[in-house]
Amino acid sequence: MDDENLLDEEDTQKDKYLAFTIGKEVYGIDIRVVMEIIGILPITTVPEVPDYIRGIINLRGKIIPVVDMRLRFGQEYREYTDRTCVIVIEVDDMLIGLIIDAVSEVMDIPENDVVPPPKLRESKSRYVRGVGKLQGEEGRVVLLLDWKRLFSREDVKALGAMQGDKEETSSENGGNDK
């Protein structure tokens, strides 16, 4: 793809978000990182990873990890249903599948309708880049995910370490031999 095409594409995808729901909240993720949306596939569990990483799936020969976003955001696990979807996104050349409750729509949120999240201590808003207001629907908002931060190597590492510690105290088997 040459630069011009790329620019064009960037342009048409600008301010477009794929909206999905987790519980009652509506989240949005830049359409540009979304590769595809699939139904739930058989998941192979991987040992010794945080429980929000459900495992890996085989997507037409590609092996990609799947993350349960409910668990990732500290909510309760819920059995997967027909409505459960996996959004496959590409971050830093990695493909990652996000398990979410349901996909709703692709929406346009101009940049000036996005307000930064409040600066709260200890909150998941760390992963929210901004809150988008929906035109014409007073009071409805979309939490725009900061996918870069959500899956950055440092963050993953930090979380992994935290999780590892937790495991170590809770069970004998979670030993990390570092």
Stretch that binds other proteins, among 14-22, 61-69, 128-136, 141-149 (CB under 8 A): 61-69
CA 163, 93, 148: angle at the middle one, nearest 5? 55
Distance CA 34, CA 75 (A): 23
> Which span (3-11, 25-33, 100-108, 152-160) binds other proteins, by CB under 8 A?
152-160
Q: Which stretch binds other proteins (CB under 8 A): 62-70, 73-81, 104-112, 125-133?
A: 62-70
3-state secondary structure of 32: helix
Q: Which residue has the tokens 């048409």?
A: 12
SS3 string, 81-140, reads CCCCEEEEEEECCEEEEEEECEEEEEEECCHHHEECCCCCCCCHHHHEEEEEECCCCCCC
| 142 binding other proteins? (CB under 8 A) | no
Q: Does 58 bind other proteins (CB under 8 A)?
A: yes
Question: What is the smallest separation between the CB atom of 175 and other proteins, expressed in angstroms?
Answer: 7
**121 is an interface residue for other proteins by CB under 8 A:** no
Q: How many residues does the chain have?
A: 178
Contacting other proteins within 99-118 (CB under 8 A) = none
Phi, psi values for residue 77, rounded to 5°:
-70, 140
Q: By CB under 8 A, is residue 96 in contact with other proteins?
A: yes
Question: At a CB cut-off of 8 Å and minimum separation 6, what does 139 contact?
Answer: none
169 binds other proteins per the rule CB under 8 A: no
13-52 positions binding other proteins, by CB under 8 A: 42, 44-50
Binding site for other proteins (CB under 8 A): 42, 44-50, 53, 56-58, 60-61, 63-65, 94-96, 151, 153, 156-157, 159-160, 163, 171, 173, 175-178
